Amino acid sequence: MKNEAYHILVVDDEFPMRQMLRIYLQHAGYRVTEASGGTEALALWQKQSYDLLILDLMMPETDGWTVCETVRTSSAVPILMLTARVGLEDRVEGLQLGADDYLAKPFEAKELTARVHALLRRSYYNLSSSPGPSSEIQRGELRVNPEERSVYVSEEKVLCTPKEFDLLHTLIVKPGRVFSRELLLQQIWGMDYMGDVRTVDTHMKNLRLKLSPFYQEQNPIHTVWGVGYKFEASGRA
């Protein structure tokens, strides 16, 4: 799929930064819409669908955290957080709210476009390289459809972010196998990802929380202490 088919919403309260992002992204062939703040971004979001959101973290009135949390209530669109704050707590908070990746200011055009391309590829059109079969997988009452990128427990849909879906799909293809955090980070975020393995823990925590209401006794995603994670089917409530 050509880049011009992708529509990206850029949200930043600083005009020079929005202008630079627009130039970088349009040069790479993407369609770009700008929002000068979180309130405007949410208004645009209600009227138009986008393939990816780039959110500045620190904005007056409605900040990037709030936009991310609001969007995540109804959509699994890829979200790239853009921030001058690089502290671990800030990154973890954004990931817990559903962000897929972080990019610290200042940054180079090549890094921005590489991260955008990776998020779009993994989220929509990289199914051929995802682990396991491309047809629907069912474990008990949990169904995962890689082509639709959908997750259901019985007939109830579970809304997952792109990274949460990739993690669940990786585990469910090979139930019982223990995947190390390092392997999951390499397979899903890519060899060039600069974050640490705690990124995996954050997304797994969010995924487990989304699945836990459907399981009475034990969550199907198990933590193997000191190693990583595995999937094992368990009873439903």
* Percent with pLDDT over 70 in the chain: 85
Tell me the sheet residues that pair with 101: 80
Mean pLDDT, rounded, of the chain: 84
What span, in angstroms and rounded, lies between the C-alpha atoms of 207 and 221?
9
pLDDT band at 5 (very low <50, low <70, confident <90, very high): low
Is the overall model pTM greater than 0.75, yes or no? no
Query: What is the pLDDT averaged over residues 192-210?
Result: 84
Position 126 scores a pLDDT of 43
45-59 tens-digit pLDDT: 888 878 899 999 888
In the prediction, which pLDDT does 235 show?
47
Q: In whole angstroms, give the CA distance from residue 112 to residue 138.
A: 37
pLDDT at 194: 65
Cα 143 to Cα 68, 87, 134: the distances in Å are: 26, 37, 13
Q: C-alpha 40: how far from its chain's center?
A: 22
Local confidence band at 142 (pLDDT 50, 70, 90 cut-offs)? very high
pLDDT digits (tens, 9 = 90+) for 95-137: 777 888 888 888 999 999 999 998 887 765 443 344 444 578 9
The SS3 call for residue 88 is helix
Q: Which of the residue ranges 29-33, 62-66, 141-145, 189-193 would you say has the lowest mean pLDDT? A: 189-193
So what's the pLDDT on residue 132? 47
pLDDT digits (tens, 9 = 90+) for 70-91: 888 777 788 999 887 666 676 6
Q: Which domains does the chain have, with CATH numbers?
A: 3-124 (3.40.50.2300), 127-231 (1.10.10.10)
- Looking at per-residue pLDDT, the higher value among 74 and 20 belongs to 20
